[in-house]
A and B are shown apart, each in its own frame.
Chain A
Amino acid sequence: MRLTEAIGPKLRDRPMMNPAAPAIRRALTTPPAPASSFPYNSGSLLSVLDLTVEGVSHLLVRATELEHEDPIVRDRILAKRRIALLFYESSTRTRTSFELASKALGADTTLVSNLSSSIEKGESLKDTGLTLRALGAEAIILRHNSSGAAWLLEETTRLPVVNAGDGMHEHPTQALLDLRTIMTQLRPGVAGVGPETLAGTTVMIVGDILHSRVARSNMLLLPRVGARVLLCGPKELLPEQAARSGPGIQIERDFEAALKQSQAVMMLRIQAERLAGLQLDLEEYKACYQLTGQRLAALAPEAVVLHPGPIIRGMEITAGVADGVQSAILEQVTNGLAIRMAVMERALTTATGGRA
């Protein structure tokens, strides 16, 4: 071979016992990844991991307090503070809920969506964020179709950024409102949470886990307050790696076996818009994973049924179950309002958040 000739026997044909071999065995540690500087603003909520369990507990307590607060008193908490809602994806629940929550605290809100703004003309997320800041926005609520977008926006604007869903990644306020719903149903009368509050409780999340930011936020949050998370779904929508996302997460592919173990059942929509060429037999999916009245009555007659919406009736869940007595789907929506009040209060009144 030409290479051998050119380089000479000295290099290539040196005996293969390698003087470095013992050294590598010892020293193959990766140079550590740099520590994260996020969040830059302590008012931000980018991930459920930005919150301590204490912080989660405080938000739950404040949500209840704010819900019961005299509306006139409540209206002064963020009076005239300016909050921008920046939405790159369509949304009914989340957008309206954030907007009503902000307004309930007296804040002024403005909505910028990708379809009716300069984003259509090619303005970058960074420039859009800086523009909103220059217009006086003190906090930005961001919904974006790209995972990680909230981190970019926070780094470039240094404003309190609340992640209202980034791609397939996280949706922290959804996980908080799901936790509030589970608490109300399974631990009535308990206001706050600690590391063991949901000990002995199994919450199953069913369906399109791969594309779900709701699933990711919930599987990172619920085990920290003691719950066991059971993921259920076909291989295409639930890769094995999911169980390695954090502690307290397990996979049970048999829907009925999972149902038997669960006190809360969280159904997810198949995200057709994110399937990206994945072929899925929907009839087979329904046969295996649809939550029907029959299955629920037989296997989990006491369990609370959740769904982050939008629900596709007759697909992942039957109309009967969605409207049935075990369903807490609309309660989730109402809880969202209370949780988002607490989150926006935190965003604009913590040490470095907003004007303080």
Chain B
Amino acid sequence: MTALAICGGRLIDPAAGVDEQKDVLLIDGRVAEIAATGKLKSRNGAEVLDATGLVVTPGLIDIHVHLREPGQAYKETIATGTAAAAAGGFTSVAAMPNTTPVNDSPEVTRWMQAPERGAQVRVFPIAAATRGSKGEAISDYAALKSAGAVAVTDDGRPILKDGMMRETLAAAARVGLTVIQHAEDTRMTQGASMNLGPTSFKLGLRGMPNEAETSIVERDIRLVAELKDARPHLHVAHLSTAAALAAVRQARRNGLRVTCEVTPHHFLLTDEHVGLYNTHAKMNPPLRSAADREAMIEGILDGVVDAIATDHAPHAMHEKEVEFELAPNGIIGLETALGLSVRWLHREWRMPLGRVLSLLSAQPAALLGLKGRGTLTVGSYADVVVFDPKVEWTYRATESQSKAKNTPFDGWQMQGKVRWTVSEGKIAYASA
């Protein structure tokens, strides 16, 4: 029996509506008891973590990461990516299928979850929606689901054909899987490397228009409406434009199961942060205009946005040290999501801390149906993060647990420092 008692802290469990001083006892990977401070009945023999002055909350859940295994271990491995996750307070990550080979099979799905991968936190594979993510034939969803896949997507290679997307939504609905769409009409973004606007003109770079995202989101919502009786669940990945957000808002009003996530970089940065060709500000979807960024914040504050996800996308140093147009898309984000969210959403824009944490745990767990995660009630998984919400610190990319250092947030002020990350009862990260 392994037992861990987290004592003296402020327990914030948004899903259970709890925000008060509580002690938490974890036994054998599950929450065994929750009691008022100092009142745990069965803490004898348990290792005690002193959480006085700290926040104790369900381990964070990132539903959009790229762990690069199998096949691209020079960028990141499941071991290093999940070490970064643990350092950032995450106890669950959902891994995208654009690996080599593409994760479109139960074999790869199982391989990613095998103990040999050395994961520090729980990895939930997201499988390819179509074979090889080629957009031609759908994968075997039932088999993928029983191998552990929690959703399907062709992230990075959006499903453009209406018929294929309709088939995907219908088939996924039959087995109860979410379809995640990277919404980009790639026919409108050929050769483009940033957002289309005055900045892209100035820099002489081809731009991606907002319509490339909104047209796909609107098309997908139309398909969800047509398939209403099957109750498909569409989740829009890394939403970045005001118009796409409005479409999601309207779909929800119409009673459709449409959810969305927003990344910290899309609610904090604009295309002006590309500066003079900073490849650490190159990602897809690209950093958008100031108006789009403001819409993301409003969407988060008023509740249309269901989750904050990082789109953690590690790349090797040499891959980003090239001409802007040649650099691969993406930035790492697991170690900065909490610090940026507390610093900006909570402190700057006055969002209650419980709601910020809900976007990072309870809501992502609910939208992917991760049972027993994203909450700390007796019987749920012993996934906990203990952090100091007041501490301000400076993020240094060189100190990242990830193999990669590609981030625009190097040197940024963060607020909220992780003290311990506990994954299924084991301490996965402890700060010095």
Contact = CB atoms under 8 A, between A and B. Distances in A.
A19 interface: yes
Nearest to A211: B204
Interface size class of B (residues with CB under 8 A): 35 or more
A7 B358 contact: yes
A8 B365 CA distance: 13
Contact of B275 (A3, A27, A33): A33
Contacts of B201: 210, 239, 241-242, 244-245
A189 interface: no
Contacts of A166: 204
A23 B350 contact: yes
**Chain B interface, >50% SS class:** helix
B357 to A, nearest CB: 11
Contacts of B16: 8
B431 interface: no
Given A11-B14, A152-B322, A276-B191, A24 B301 contact: yes
Given A6-B366, A276-B206, A125 B303 contact: no
Interface in B284-311: 290, 293-294, 297-298, 301-303, 306
B99 interface: no
Contact of B197 (A38, A241, A277): A241
A168 B191 contact: no
A279 interface: no
Interface string A143-167: 0101111011000100000000011
A20 interface: yes
A30 B276 contact: no
A355 interface: no
A126 B202 CA distance: 24
A147 B205 CA distance: 7
A149 B279 CA distance: 12
Interface string B315-328: 00010011111100
Contacts of A149: 323
B294 to A, nearest CB: 5
A148 B323 contact: yes
Contacts of A170: 204
Nearest to B193: A147
B355 A11 contact: yes
B275 to A, nearest CB: 5
Nearest to B369: A2
A245 B202 contact: yes
19 contacts: A2-B366, A6-B362, A7-B358, A8-B16, A8-B17, A12-B303, A14-B303, A16-B303, A18-B301, A23-B350, A30-B272, A147-B325, A148-B276, A148-B277, A152-B277, A168-B204, A169-B204, A210-B201, A276-B190
Interface of B: 14-17, 190-191, 197-198, 200-206, 255, 257, 259, 268-270, 272-273, 275-277, 290, 293-294, 297-298, 301-303, 306, 318, 321-326, 344, 348-352, 355, 358, 362-363, 365-367, 369, 412
